[in-house]
């Protein structure tokens, strides 16, 4: 988030990754950095939510998994 406020980096980060679509480099960078956190650090929540779903229940793991996946 700090990189967005550095004037020299702003122009480069706003450039599109592809010519076909407007996909800023900052969005790709954010996706690359967030993906391991979402699936590695939150693996316990996903396991708990799957276990609860198999039992037909809803737990706090289910809420955490839904919230982080939607966000």
Write down the domain spans for the chain. Answer: 3-70
Give the number of other Cβ atoms within 10 Å of residue 15's Cβ: 10
In angstroms, the CA 54 to CA 57 distance is: 8
Q: Name the pLDDT band for 53 (thresholds 50, 70, 90).
A: very high
pLDDT tops 90 at residue 63 = yes
In angstroms, the CA 62 to CA 9 distance is: 39
In angstroms, the CA 46 to CA 3 distance is: 31
Across the range 36-62, mean pLDDT stands at 92
pTM of the model: 0.59
pLDDT tops 70 at residue 14 = no
In angstroms, the CA 65 to CA 43 distance is: 9
């Amino acid at each position: 988030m700090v990189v967005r406020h550095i004037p020299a980096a702003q122009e480069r980060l706003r450039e599109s990754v592809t010519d076909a679509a407007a996909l800023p480099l900052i969005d790709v960078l954010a996706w690359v950095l967030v993906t391991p956190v979402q699936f590695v650090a939150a693996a316990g929540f996903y396991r708990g939510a799957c276990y609860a779903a198999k039992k037909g229940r809803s737990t706090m793991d289910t809420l955490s998994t839904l919230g982080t996946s939607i966000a």
